[in-house]
Amino acid sequence: MSVQVLLVGGSGVVGSQLARLLGQQHPDLHLIIGGRSRTNAALLADELPNASQLVLDLTRDDPLAQLERLPQLVVTLANDTYDHLLTTCLRHGIPYLDITRWTSHLQRAISTLPALPPARAPVVFASSWMASVTAILASEQAEDLLDSTINIDIKYALNDKAGPNSAHYLDQLSESFTVLQHGQPVAKYAFTDSQRVSFNGSRPIRTYRFDAPDQMTLPLLTAASSVSTRIAFDSALATAGLMLLVRSGLWQAISGQRFSRLRHRLLYNPGSGGSHQIRISVTGQTRDGATLQRVLELEDPYGQSHLTAVGAYIQIQRILGLGGQTPARCGAQYAEACTDPVVTRSTLESLGVHLRSYPPLTRPKPRSTD
């Protein structure tokens, strides 16, 4: 009997790319395309080699109650707002992968886990940027450095073929968030503390702080004393306009559920496609006291939704033990803490993502003895 994988939100922009990728690479997996629209799920299932559709209601206490046979993995590509899927998977011992949680929702899930049934299967949170791809690579860059500073800069294409979940960060822009800075937790606000960054040797642009789970997980996994994530659009006008809205307080004035459509309409206008670029810079001390800087640049010409789908694909392979890997251990885990960066790199490159590593930009020099 084939392994069943339920893709919750599987007919969405990210989910459909993930489903097609799984269908191509692992046609023996039976994919259950779950979502609110029976029509959309059925259309996608019909084009895949081994798939079916399922209408899901995530507001139900047990969204999987209608299934005669429980899947071997549930992948959450839509917001599990009420944690009903998480709770159901824990109750039945079903492996669970979530790539959708923003920092506050991730913190809530982690804090409530002790009150939920104990995990008898992997419970994987891969909600850092692009299904934790960025945090996996950043952690690798910093793993042997002490007192490191990790800067993650993102260039977001307005014409990208993005799904609606990708715009949810817009809802957080008026809220403060905590980052680690010089070893201390510090409250920050979005679109402050800009810095000029060049992506792949192009003309430098200004990137600005925003909240992302990477700023919570990377300090736990590395010896970093400072971690930051910043973002800019490929349109300087759009970046400046959003910065003005946030800093003036107008964004705060249109916060809340009542104005969510307005907020998303301002900047969520997905196009036919655009390149997604990420720059990871890590500066720290080697064990012999030298200062070292590493830069890794990542570009997905197919856009952020494709990169997110590839990140989810990497986690599915790890959890199920596909491609010669050992299946993931039971229990709650951050994807960036458990994923082999070598496997991540090779998978990314095999699926069309470009990676460029740069030698130290600062020559190693002995630490002062004064």
Mean per-residue pLDDT for 108-135?
A: 96
Does 25 have pLDDT greater than 50? yes
End-to-end CA distance of the chain: 68
Q: Which of 171-175, 285-289, 357-361 has the lowest mean pLDDT?
A: 357-361
Tokens representing residue 291 in the block? 């200062």
Taking the C-alpha atoms of residue 93 and residue 70, their distance in angstroms, rounded to an integer, is 10
pLDDT in tens, 216-250: 999 999 999 999 999 999 988 888 888 888 888 88
pLDDT of res. 172 = 73
| 222 SS3 class | coil
Q: Quick one: pLDDT band at residue 260, thresholds 50, 70, 90? A: low
Q: What is the mean pLDDT of residues 301-326?
A: 97
For the chain, domain boundaries: 4-126+304-339, 133-303+355-359
The two domains 4-126+304-339 and 133-303+355-359 share their CATH topology (first three levels equal): no
Task: State mean pLDDT over 59-77.
Answer: 96
Residue among 100, 86, 70, 227 at smallest CA distance from 165: 100
Q: Are 295 and 287 in contact (CB under 8 A)?
A: no
Q: Looking at per-residue confidence, does 152 or 234 come out higher? A: 152
Are 132 and 138 within 8 A, CB to CB? no
pLDDT value at residue 265:
66
| Residue labelled with tokens 């998978």 | 347
Q: Give 180's strand partners.
A: 185
At residue 258, does pLDDT exceed 50? yes
For residue 251, give the 3-state DSSP assignment: helix
Residue 250 has a pLDDT of: 82
* The domain over range 4-126+304-339 is classified in CATH as 3.40.50.720: yes
The pLDDT, as a whole number, for residue 249 is 84
Q: Residue 366 has what pLDDT?
A: 41
What does pLDDT average to over the chain? 91
Q: Return the pLDDT at 174.
A: 81
- Residue 188: alpha-carbon gap to chain centroid: 21
Specify the amino acid at residue 102: W
| Helices vs. strands in the chain: H and E counts, helices first | 12, 16
Question: What is the structure's pLDDT at 363?
Answer: 37
Unique residue bearing structure tokens 């959309």: 40
| CATH number of this structure's domain 133-303+355-359 | 3.30.360.10
Instruction: State whether the Cα torsion 48-54-59-63 is positive or negative.
Output: negative
Q: For residues 224 and 217, give the distance between their C-alpha atoms in angstroms, rounded to a whole number.
A: 11
Whether 361 has a pLDDT exceeding 50, the answer reads no
Burial, 176: exposed, middle or buried (Cβ in 10 Å; 0-12, 13-18, 19+)? exposed
Mean pLDDT of 68-77: 97
**Which single residue is written with the structure tokens 């979502």?**
35
Query: What does the pLDDT average to over 63-77?
Result: 97
Compute the distance between CA of residue 21 and CA of residue 310 in angstroms, rounded to an integer: 8
